[in-house]
Amino acid sequence: MTITSGPRRQTHQKNGIRNAETLLRRLIPGNVDIATSLPSSATPVRADHTQIEQVVINLGINAAQAMPTGGTLTIAVSRDDADNEDRLTITDTGAGMDALTASHIFEPFFTTKGQTGSGLGLSIVHGIIDAICYTRACND
């Protein structure tokens, strides 16, 4: 998942990411490592820091559930000088998903977890990203 900045009030996404990382360390299994790459010079983004936290937490929990035998969740901010924007990218070392599944992940109530999933996590992420005028991309 890649998120790029758009118009809203400015906040440092690093604060939201650090808060989310702290919560994720308590919420996800110990066999999932969390790696972060947050440059000291990240540009403030126009969003509420709690929205950034919610996005990172939802994506992090989904990623951890996709790695039942363990793996690495990576949360990174990188600078795209060509577009003059910072990118928040969240990746994991899970098996990924097929194209059909990927085409539905942002739909409300879509879940691959049967009765244990609400299907709302990624739909909430989608809503937050759209509300704060970000763009998103999913590469299984």
Bridging pattern class, strands 71-80 and 32-37: parallel
Can you count the helices (H) and strands (E) in the chain? 4, 7
Q: What is the span of the domain harbouring residue 24?
A: 2-137
Q: What is the CATH number of the domain that holds 102?
A: 3.30.565.10
Q: What is the average per-residue pLDDT within 39-56? A: 78
pLDDT in tens, 103-114: 877 777 777 776
Whole-structure pTM value = 0.78
- pLDDT of the residue at 70: 96
Q: What is the average per-residue pLDDT within 52-72? A: 91
CA 136 vs. chain centroid, Å, equals: 10
Residues 22-52: b if buried by 16+ CB within 10 A, e if exposed:
eebeeebeeebebeeebeeebeebebebebb
pLDDT bucket at 2, cuts 50 / 70 / 90: low
Structural domains in the chain (count)? 1
